[in-house]
Amino acid sequence: MVRPAEDGQAEVLRTLEVLGRELPVSATGTVEVQGGRLVVEPRTIDLGGPQLLSEGLAAVVRELVTITHDIEGLPDGLVLRDVEVRPAGFRARLSGEDVRLVP
């Protein structure tokens, strides 16, 4: 699940299997657009365990909670340019030329 967090960031909540054990993971990070793709990159990761354990495993699970997502269903020629995290969700800015919108 991805939801808005403080300071214009997003929070990713997941359960990951790490070393044969399922751990709840909460990662808070930036949301940006790279090459027309939505990227949520964690800045802080909490594995729900002791701080020493969380810090040690954070680097290992960072790649597992980084989200890179293509926006599907956009008409040809329409490209994601920017995204902003808001309390009620996300606001996206798209642009394109000669885009045909069909109901």
Domain residues of the chain, as ranges?
2-96
CA 10 to chain centre: 7
For residue 1, give the 3-state DSSP assignment.
Answer: coil
> Cβ distance 37 to 70 under 8 Å?
yes
pLDDT-derived band at 26 (thresholds 50, 70, 90) equals: confident
Sign of the Cα torsion 58, 17, 19, 50 reads: positive
Overall average pLDDT of the 14-30 stretch: 82
For residue 70, give the 3-state DSSP assignment.
Answer: coil
> What pLDDT digit, counting tens, does each position of 30-70 carry?
999 999 998 988 888 877 665 545 555 666 667 767 888 88
Which tokens belong to 65?
A: 């909670």
For residue 48, give the 3-state DSSP assignment.
Answer: coil
Overall average pLDDT of the 1-26 stretch: 84
pLDDT-derived band at 101 (thresholds 50, 70, 90) equals: confident
